[in-house]
Amino acid sequence: MGPPDAEVVLHFLPADSGGRKEPFRTVAGSWRPMLDMGRSDGLNGALVEFIGAEWASPGDTIKARIWFLSPQLQHGRLFEGMTFTVHEAQPAIAHGRVGKVLNAEMVKMA
- 4 burial level (CB within 10 Å; 0-12, 13-18, 19+): buried
Domain count, the chain: 1
pTM of the model: 0.90
41 part of a folded domain: yes
Asked if residue 1 is part of any domain, the answer here is no
Would 47 be classed as within a structural domain?
A: yes
72: pLDDT strictly greater than 70: yes
Average pLDDT, the chain: 90
In a domain, 35, yes or no: yes
How many angstroms separate the CA atoms of 32 and 67, rounded? Answer: 9
Domain that holds residue 71: 6-106
- CATH number of residue 10's parent domain: 2.40.30.10
Using one digit for the tens of pLDDT, what is the confidence trace for 7-47? Answer: 999 999 998 888 888 888 777 667 899 999 999 888 899 99
